[in-house]
């Protein structure tokens, strides 16, 4: 029963709890049993609050017994990324500097998940300060890919993706600056949604007017993503980029007639190096969109200067958020984090100004491109999962990567577009490693992205191939 229940979609588990066919406490115990069995193999959940979770599940059961509505996520276990502050629960940011830090407040996404009835069980692993798409840190070590324990799960929301793939939780939160919701989802055969900036308000946020770092949902299916968005979307006065539409828009049916919808097929986003193992899996998916009735044309937006825009604004943000900490704690900070902060310190005012002008021009070009195409289809990651001992990819198809994040351009080029982008399971390489497909929509057209992703998911059912270790 535990295996069957824990690998069900969150929508199905939520329905069973609401119908009182199974209690929130029973659901929790099933997931705790899986955590006890599987987490030692993968190291996805790094802080666990069993007693607190049992109290929260019991409160949900009591509320349902009284005929109350505890919220759309009632009774669903959730673990929060260890970058998100959790009141009374350790939040380390993956850094030894904060190994014993316990906040006295909840980040907004955590507070909204709790208010919607989700049962917090603990925290998921992340690289130090979320830096890099490979999940390891000196506090908790590395998180392993459940499809191949010798491989990385990606990052920086790597613990969340692995916990979902293993059935240790049915829903998760994450964050995404350069691909941190999408890359681990693609590497673990789950779904990660980088929503439009402001769709899920971020608080606290040291850069409230920069649209690059967002919080968002992860789950095993697209419908589960929509369910989570019913709890975490919607405006907040503390987040000035908030989109005013209510979260209830995500309760609409996901079905849509896609005949005649124009899709730009961009297997390398205009010339990025892509590993042939990824290209082969992605190429086989084109026919699915054609069978859905889409008009699929090979085309790529003009993303000239996207690399400069992202690298400069990322460095600017790292210096702004972590510069003072570097002055105090340099010896205890990861070398790549130090490099990124120092890159920010080397920037001049005119450099930042040039970047903002280039960003405005890129957004204008993208707007024109998306007058013709409602969606862009691209790979999530340019390479499949790689050895867990390797900090990052240094070359693709013979092309050298100049720094620790450049191998993630297929994600971070899209981060600077201010568009919603979802990673959905697209199949597997010949040696059984997951590959993700990225569906990119028009600005603020988050629900439309979910509709195409849902149709693709229904047609392919790739999400049903669970890791072997999770099914025995």
Q: Where in the sequence numbering do the catalytic residues fall?
A: 81, 156, 180
| Residue whose C-alpha is closest to residue 403's, from 411, 392, 389, 413 | 392
d(CA 205, CA 347): 22
Q: How far apart are CA 279 and CA 268, in angstroms?
A: 8
Neighbouring residues of 55: CB distance < 8 A, sequence distance ≥ 6: none
Rg (CA), the chain: 21
State yes or no: cis peptide before 362, omega within 30 of 0: no
Residue with tokens 């992703």: 453
- Region of residue 372 (left: phi > 0; alpha: psi -120 to 50; beta: else): alpha
Calpha distance 175→190 (Å, rounded) = 15
Q: Is 460 exposed, middle or buried (0-12, 13-18, 19+ CB in 10 A)?
A: middle
Could you give the CA distance from residue 288 to residue 460 in angstroms, rounded to a whole number? 8
Contact by Cβ (8 Å): 440, 467: no
Distances (CA, A) of 262 to 35, 265, 376: 43, 10, 9
How many Å apart are CA 162 and CA 143, to the nearest integer? 8
């Amino acid at each position: 029963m535990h295996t069957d229940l824990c690998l069900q979609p969150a929508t199905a588990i939520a329905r069973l709890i609401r119908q009182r066919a199974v209690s929130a406490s029973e659901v929790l115990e099933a997931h705790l049993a899986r955590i006890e069995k599987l987490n030692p193999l993968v190291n996805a959940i790094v802080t666990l609050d069993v007693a607190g979770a049992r109290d929260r599940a019991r409160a949900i059961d009591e509320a349902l017994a009284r005929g109350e509505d505890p919220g759309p996520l009632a009774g669903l276990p959730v673990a929060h990324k260890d970058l998100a502050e959790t009141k009374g629960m350790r939040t380390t940011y993956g850094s030894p500097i904060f190994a014993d830090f316990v906040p006295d407040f909840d980040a907004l996404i955590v507070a909204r998940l709790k208010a919607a009835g989700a049962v917090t069980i603990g925290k998921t692993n992340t690289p130090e300060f979320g830096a890099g798409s490979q999940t390891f840190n000196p506090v908790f070590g590395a998180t392993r890919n459940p499809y191949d324990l010798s491989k990385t799960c990606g990052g920086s929301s790597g613990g969340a993706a692995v916990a979902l793939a293993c059935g240790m939780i049915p829903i998760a939160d994450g964050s995404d600056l350069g691909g941190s919701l999408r890359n681990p989802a693609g590497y673990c055969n789950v779904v990660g949604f980088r929503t439009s900036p402001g769709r899920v308000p971020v608080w606290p946020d040291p850069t409230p007017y920069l649209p690059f770092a967002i919080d968002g949902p992860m789950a095993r299916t697209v419908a589960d993503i929509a369910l989570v968005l019913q709890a975490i979307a919607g405006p907040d006065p503390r987040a000035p980029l908030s989109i005013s539409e209510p979260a209830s828009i995500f309760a609409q049916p996901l079905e849509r007639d896609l005949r005649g919808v124009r899709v730009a097929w961009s297997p390398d986003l205009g010339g990025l190096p892509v590993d042939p193992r990824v290209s082969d899996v992605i190429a086989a998916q084109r026919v699915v969109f054609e069978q859905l009735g889409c008009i699929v044309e090979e085309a790529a937006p003009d993303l000239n200067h996207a690399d400069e825009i992202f690298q400069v604004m990322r460095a600017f943000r790292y210096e702004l958020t972590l510069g003072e900490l570097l002055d105090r704690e340099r010896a205890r900070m990861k070398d790549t984090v130090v490099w990124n902060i120092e890159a920010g310190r080397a920037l001049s005012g005119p450099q930042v100004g040039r970047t903002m002008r280039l960003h405005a021009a890129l957004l204008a070009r993208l707007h024109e491109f998306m007058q013709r195409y409602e969606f862009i289809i691209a790979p999530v990651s340019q390479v499949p999962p790689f050895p867990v001992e390797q900090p990052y990819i240094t070359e693709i198809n013979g092309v050298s990567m100049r720094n620790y994040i450049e191998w993630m351009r297929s994600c971070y080029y899209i981060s600077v577009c201010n568009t919603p982008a979802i990673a959905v399971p697209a199949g597997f390489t010949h040696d059984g490693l997951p590959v993700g497909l990225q569906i990119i929509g028009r600005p603020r057209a988050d629900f439309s992205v979910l509709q195409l992703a849902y149709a693709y998911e229904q047609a392919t059912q790739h999400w049903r191939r669970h890791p072997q270790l999770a099914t025995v």
